[in-house]
């Protein structure tokens, strides 16, 4: 059961997982996306780690056509929001997981995915899963990629590629609450010794340093999603014995506190880091809109997981070979106790691609690509 509690983060923030866009080869690369984050943004890195947090088991990926329905390490039934966005932006293929054997040579010029299920801003986040890649480690890995790009393109063209043709997408933060500060037993000491405000300030300060480090490695186009309504996932509703229309108050309250400070941080970085643009994706409100008005979007439930077991919402035991699975996957907002279905991802991706400042600002993803 521990294995998937972290994945919600990816759910709300998964949209940030932009795969590579544009076409070309050699020195004529159309564009790239370098992806940092957790769970559903993870496209397979955890497959190569000895960890309790894995999604390379059936029926995950059952609707993912490129694999013929076999699991790839994505924590959903089909495409992630990043996959969908990448396709819309004209990608030639998906960004390769950094730990995969084929993440070398020309592949790195189209983008690399560093995300890891269970990862967080803080290095201690996700320790319940034994292994995961924290944001600091993910940036360490990008530093390796950065040097490889220099070798392939030469220093001048490499810098141009990173600064002008690459998007850096970061979806991180929810695990720092669900699998750190709010984790039963393991976090009780932290909650006694540190107030919510103090913990959130630590998150923001650490994230500021991480984003600045990416900037120093020539990253210029950033998109960051805030933390979604983590108190509304089937897992949280089930363990707290809520009805379908209720959400757990504390996780959502913490998410909103963090989100307010994240927005301020991005405004500060936009002002203080010359040449950079930090796009803010209001994932909390976007996902809450889909959950609240699910029938308007063609869903029959926004509370029950399609794949899972335990409780009236199938929200306790993660999706796996022995799980019960619904037959109408496109009618469920949630694929499993923590992640959205491909059908929900399509709706969310559309807003991020072409939406107005209600959900993404100062520009949307299509506009960010063209800057």
Residues forming the active site: 39, 336, 339
Please say whether the beta carbons of 234 and 315 come within 8 A.
Answer: yes
Distance (Å, whole) CA 42 – CA 40: 5
Please say whether the beta carbons of 75 and 4 come within 8 A.
Answer: yes
Reading phi first (left if > 0) and then psi (alpha if -120 to 50, else beta), residue 118 is in: left
Please say whether the beta carbons of 14 and 150 come within 8 A.
Answer: no
Question: Which structure tokens are listed for 120?
Answer: 């967080």
Question: Which structure tokens are listed for 293?
Answer: 């008005």
Please say whether the beta carbons of 178 and 134 come within 8 A.
Answer: no
H helix or E strand, kind and range, residue 301: none
Please say whether the beta carbons of 178 and 122 come within 8 A.
Answer: no
Strand partners, 104: none
Per-position DSSP letters for 181-229, written without gaps between them: IT-TTTTHHHHHHS-HHHHHHHHHHHHHHHHHHHHHTT--EEEEE----
Name the DSSP class of 318: P
Pairing mode, strands 277-281 and 360-361: antiparallel
Nearest to 159 by CA among 217, 112, 110: 217
Name the DSSP class of 178: I
Peptide bond into 362 cis (omega under 30): yes
Residues in contact with 294: Cβ distance below 8 Å, sequence separation at least 6, in sequence order: 300, 301, 302, 333
């Amino acid at each position: 059961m521990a294995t998937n509690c972290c994945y919600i983060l990816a759910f709300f923030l998964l949209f940030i997982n932009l795969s590579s866009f544009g076409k070309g080869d050699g020195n004529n690369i159309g564009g790239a996306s370098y992806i940092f984050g957790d769970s559903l943004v993870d496209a397979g890195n955890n497959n190569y780690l000895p960890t309790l947090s894995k999604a390379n088991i059936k029926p995950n990926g059952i609707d993912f056509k490129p694999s013929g329905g076999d699991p790839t390490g994505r924590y959903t039934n089909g495409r992630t929001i990043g996959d969908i966005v990448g396709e819309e932006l004209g990608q030639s293929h998906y960004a390769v997981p950094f730990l995969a054997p084929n993440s070398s040579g020309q592949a790195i010029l189209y983008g690399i995915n560093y995300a890891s299920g269970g990862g967080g801003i803080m290095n201690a986040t996700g320790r319940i899963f034994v292994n995961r890649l924290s944001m600091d480690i993910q940036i360490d890995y990008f530093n390796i990629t950065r040097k490889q790009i220099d070798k392939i393109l030469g220093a001048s063209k490499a810098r141009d590629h990173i600064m002008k043709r690459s998007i850096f997408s970061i979806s991180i933060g929810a695990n720092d609450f669900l699998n750190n500060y709010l984790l039963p037993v393991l976090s009780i000491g932290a909650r006694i010794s540190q107030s919510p405000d103090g913990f959130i300030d630590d998150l923001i300060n650490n994230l500021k340093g991480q984003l600045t480090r990416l900037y120093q490695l020539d990253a210029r186009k950033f998109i960051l999603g805030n933390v979604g309504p983590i108190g509304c996932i089937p897992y949280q509703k089930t363990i707290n014995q809520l009805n379908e229309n209720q959400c757990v108050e504390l996780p959502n309250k913490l998410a909103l506190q963090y989100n307010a400070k994240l927005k301020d941080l991005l405004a500060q970085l936009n002002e203080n880091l010359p040449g950079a643009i930090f796009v803010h994706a209001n994932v909390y409100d976007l996902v809450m809109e889909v959950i609240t008005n699910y029938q308007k979007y063609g869903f029959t439930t926004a509370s029950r997981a399609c794949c899972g077991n335990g409780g009236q919402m199938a929200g306790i035991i993660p999706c796996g070979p022995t799980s019960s699975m619904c037959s109408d996957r496109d009618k469920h907002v949630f694929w499993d106790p923590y992640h959205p279905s491909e059908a929900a991802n399509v709706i969310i991706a559309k807003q991020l691609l072409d939406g107005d400042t209600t959900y993404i600002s100062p520009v949307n993803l299509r506009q960010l690509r063209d800057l």
